[in-house]
């Protein structure tokens, strides 16, 4: 057998303007050797023709620029969300549209558990079930003996039953911020943010780091990615301790592991120490694990009213959100990391947060010159034309949260920022018009990983109730396909290696059932993903 394989496809969309489409791609040593027709690699010697994908459409493997490793392992917990979701094995879990349904599903699962084991759920989102608030009374109907904890979809809140409250001694007498109490003075079961949640998490063994760093977690993340046609994925807030890295290198090092992972180190503590640590990590990168970038978490989430927004604030008069990192710390961290040559991915949801971060990066750039820094504002949900223009002037990229339009668009109109500002949320059109490098993302597991769905959101801007949110911000299908391949690859500074089907790049492809350029744009999300080719090796789902 020759060491050159020529894959035949129905069509190959390359995302490379020098040859936008082809029928054959030749692969040697995991890289793209030639592209064109059946004879494309004849100059290179004997070839093996592979026609197993001849009815499929190939694209560059999709790149998910903002997701989290626990998107796979979170399925060890019971899904209690409002939307239909598909687990890593491909099983459909229907969404739960009432608290009764939540109690019913939990009761069903409770009956299957061994005595004493806690019942843990995830994905619950109170913004969709506003008649009544989930409380310990609901969960006590599932069990009064077994501790139960339901994580909300934003991972910043949870609700627990009485047995779980007893386990950590939360009562009327408790005085811990975030332990919500009812009119009777007793805890309702709802716990907000880490100080209140952590004691329960420790007792019940809920550990986000462990959820992300076990061998099985990394493998199920790869399953989730392959199902979505993704060959390069991020883990955008990672502790990256030495033992975590050992596990990651060993699992990803297996020949048939079909995913490149780009973890970003979670920013905390002294900026100079952080910079040194990031540079040390960068030196340990492999082909499948790309280290060296840092993730900063600035404000909260818009649908949780914890994002920092500019005047006129939230339409319901809620107080402005919270800083997870104080502005002075943002300034100091941006200055130190930029000066040290460390790329930053910076979480900004509200427009006050994006403004502060652009100011901080501009200040950092006045201190130290680094033209190809590649810093990225992540989410950037409320950014307007003026902020995009400043990003263009400063060489900053954006990765916009297009999935939000469908998942939370109606809620933003009705409950958070109102129709006018919701119309310019995740303004991909404005960002492209300003000349920016633009990615679009899912933030999985917050919303499901699926770049074709994300592209559909940016193209159609349709909400869950079928309304169009800000028609002027829609983009074309080719622009959306670019954003989920080359655009995202650029935000990771990997566009020289992945993102298009070009000679010399890695042979990473998404295998699709039909051609995204030929389907009705309103059905982009329905195109079947058949699997991926990773480094020249096909994995079908
Ligand atoms: Zn995220």
Q: Residue 149 corresponds to which tokens in the numbers above?
A: 């904890």
Confidence of residue 177 (pLDDT cuts 50, 70, 90): confident
Residue with tokens 């620029």: 65
Instruction: Give the distance (Å) from ligand 1 centre to CA of residue 250.
Output: 25
Q: In whole angstroms, how far apart are CA 343 and each of 157, 275, 292, 437?
A: 30, 10, 7, 15
Instruction: Give the distance (Å) from ligand 1 centre to CA of residue 148.
Output: 25
Cα–Cα distance measured from residue 157 to residue 178, given in angstroms and rounded to the nearest whole number: 9
What percent of the chain is modeled with pLDDT above 90?
A: 90
Q: According to the model, what pLDDT value does residue 194 have?
A: 78
Cα–Cα distance measured from residue 224 to residue 290, given in angstroms and rounded to the nearest whole number: 19
Instruction: Give the distance (Å) from ligand 1 centre to CA of residue 324.
Output: 13
Residue with tokens 């959101």: 457
Q: According to the model, what pLDDT value does residue 212 have?
A: 83
Instruction: Give the distance (Å) from ligand 1 centre to CA of residue 38.
Output: 43
Q: According to the model, what pLDDT value does residue 334 have?
A: 98
Instruction: Give the distance (Å) from ligand 1 centre to CA of residue 443.
Output: 5
Rounded to 5°, the CA angle 442-530-48 comes to 125
Instruction: Give the distance (Å) from ligand 1 centre to CA of residue 68.
Output: 6
Cα–Cα distance measured from residue 438 to residue 380, given in angstroms and rounded to the nearest whole number: 11
Q: According to the model, what pLDDT value does residue 470 have?
A: 97
Mean pLDDT of 202-216: 88
Instruction: Give the distance (Å) from ligand 1 centre to CA of residue 274.
Output: 20
Instruction: Give the distance (Å) from ligand 1 centre to CA of residue 380.
Output: 12
Cα–Cα distance measured from residue 213 to residue 445, given in angstroms and rounded to the nearest whole number: 15
Mean pLDDT of 347-356: 97
pLDDT in tens, 308-338: 999 999 999 999 988 889 999 999 999 999 9
Cβ neighbourhood burial of 480 (10 Å; 0-12, 13-18, 19+): buried
Mean pLDDT of 511-518: 98
pLDDT in tens, 127-139: 898 888 999 999 9
Q: According to the model, what pLDDT value does residue 483 have?
A: 98
Instruction: Give the distance (Å) from ligand 1 centre to CA of residue 121.
Output: 19
Instruction: Give the distance (Å) from ligand 1 centre to CA of residue 488.
Output: 15
pLDDT in tens, 97-106: 999 999 999 9
Is the predicted pLDDT of residue 2 greater than 80, yes or no? no
Is the predicted pLDDT of residue 462 greater than 80, yes or no? yes
Confidence of residue 208 (pLDDT cuts 50, 70, 90): confident
Is the predicted pLDDT of residue 507 greater than 90, yes or no? yes
pLDDT in tens, 13-71: 999 999 999 999 999 999 999 999 999 999 999 999 999 999 999 999 999 999 999 99
Is the predicted pLDDT of residue 292 greater than 60, yes or no? yes
Highest mean pLDDT among 150-159, 187-196, 199-208, 263-272 belongs to 263-272
Is the predicted pLDDT of residue 409 greater than 90, yes or no? yes
Q: According to the model, what pLDDT value does residue 1 have?
A: 57
Instruction: Give the distance (Å) from ligand 1 centre to CA of residue 69.
Output: 10
Instruction: Give the distance (Å) from ligand 1 centre to CA of residue 379.
Output: 8
Instruction: Give the distance (Å) from ligand 1 centre to CA of residue 66.
Output: 6
Instruction: Give the distance (Å) from ligand 1 centre to CA of residue 335.
Output: 23
Mean pLDDT of 295-305: 91
What percent of the chain is modeled with pLDDT above 70?
A: 100
Helices within 424-529 (DSSP H only):
428-433, 451-460, 477-482, 488-491
Q: According to the model, what pLDDT value does residue 64 have?
A: 98
Cβ atoms within 10 Å of 520's Cβ, excluding its own: 8
Instruction: Give the distance (Å) from ligand 1 centre to CA of residue 333.
Output: 19
Instruction: Give the distance (Å) from ligand 1 centre to CA of residue 517.
Output: 30
Instruction: Give the distance (Å) from ligand 1 centre to CA of residue 280.
Output: 24
What integer best gives the mean pLDDT of the chain?
96
Instruction: Give the distance (Å) from ligand 1 centre to CA of residue 180.
Output: 26
Q: According to the model, what pLDDT value does residue 207 have?
A: 86
DSSP bridge pairs for 295? 266, 345
Instruction: Give the distance (Å) from ligand 1 centre to CA of residue 104.
Output: 30
Instruction: Give the distance (Å) from ligand 1 centre to CA of residue 152.
Output: 14
Backbone angles phi, psi at 452, to 5 degrees: -70, -35
Q: According to the model, what pLDDT value does residue 262 have?
A: 98
């Amino acid at each position: 057998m020759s060491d050159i394989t020529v894959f035949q496809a129905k069509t190959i969309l390359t995302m490379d303007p020098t040859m936008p489409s082809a029928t054959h791609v030749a692969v040697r040593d995991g890289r793209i050797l030639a592209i064109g027709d059946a004879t494309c690699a004849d100059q290179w010697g004997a070839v093996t023709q592979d026609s197993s994908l001849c009815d499929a459409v190939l694209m560059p493997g999709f790149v998910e620029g903002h997701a989290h490793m626990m998107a796979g392992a979170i399925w060890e917990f019971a899904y209690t969300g409002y939307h239909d979701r598909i687990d890593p094995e491909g099983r459909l879990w229907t969404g739960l549209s009432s608290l009764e349904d939540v109690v019913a599903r939990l009761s069903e699962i409770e009956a299957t558990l061994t005595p004493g084991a806690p019942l843990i759920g995830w994905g619950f989102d109170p913004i969709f079930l506003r008649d009544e608030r989930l409380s310990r009374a609901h969960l006590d109907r599932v069990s009064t003996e077994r501790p139960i904890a339901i994580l909300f979809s934003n991972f910043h809140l949870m609700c627990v039953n009485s047995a779980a409250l007893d386990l950590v001694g939360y009562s009327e007498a408790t005085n811990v911020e975030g332990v919500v109490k009812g009119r009777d003075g007793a805890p309702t079961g709802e716990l907000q943010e880490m100080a209140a949640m952590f004691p329960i998490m420790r007792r019940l063994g809920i550990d986000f780091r462990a959820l992300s760093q076990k061998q099985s977690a990394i493998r199920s993340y790869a399953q989730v990615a392959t199902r979505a046609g993704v060959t390069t994925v991020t883990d955008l807030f990672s502790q990256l301790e030495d033992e975590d890295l050992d596990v990651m290198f060993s699992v990803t090092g297996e020949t048939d592991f079909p995913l490149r992972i780009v973890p970003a180190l979670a920013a905390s503590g002294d900026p100079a120490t952080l910079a040194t640590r990031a540079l040390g990590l960068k030196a340990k990168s492999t082909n499948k694990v790309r280290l060296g970038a840092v993730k900063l978490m600035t404000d909260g989430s818009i649908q949780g009213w914890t994002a920092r927004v500019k005047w006129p604030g939230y339409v319901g008069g809620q107080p402005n959100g919270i800083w997870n990192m104080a502005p002075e710390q943002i300034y100091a961290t941006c200055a130190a990391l930029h000066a040290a040559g460390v790329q930053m991915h910076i979480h900004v949801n509200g427009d006050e947060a994006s403004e502060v971060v652009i100011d901080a990066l501009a200040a950092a750039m006045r201190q130290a010159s680094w033209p190809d820094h590649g810093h990225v504002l992540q989410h950037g949900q409320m950014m307007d034309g003026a902020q995009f223009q400043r990003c263009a002037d400063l060489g900053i990229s954006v990765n916009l949260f297009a999935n939000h339009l469908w998942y939370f668009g109606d809620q933003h109109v009705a409950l958070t920022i109102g129709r006018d500002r919701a119309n310019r949320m995740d303004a991909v059109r404005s960002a492209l018009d300003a000349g920016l490098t633009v990615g679009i993302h899912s933030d999985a597991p917050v919303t499901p990983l699926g770049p074709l769905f994300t592209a559909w959101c940016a193209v159609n801007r349709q909400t869950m109730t079928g309304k169009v949110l800000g028609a002027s911000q829609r983009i074309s299908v080719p622009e959306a396909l670019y954003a989920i391949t080359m655009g995202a690859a650029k935000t990771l500074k990997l566009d020289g290696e992945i993102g298009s089907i070009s000679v010399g790049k890695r042979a990473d492809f998404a295998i699709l059932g039909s051609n995204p350029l030929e389907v009705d744009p309103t059905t982009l999300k329905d195109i079947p993903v058949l699997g991926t080719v990773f480094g020249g090796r096909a994995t079908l789902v």
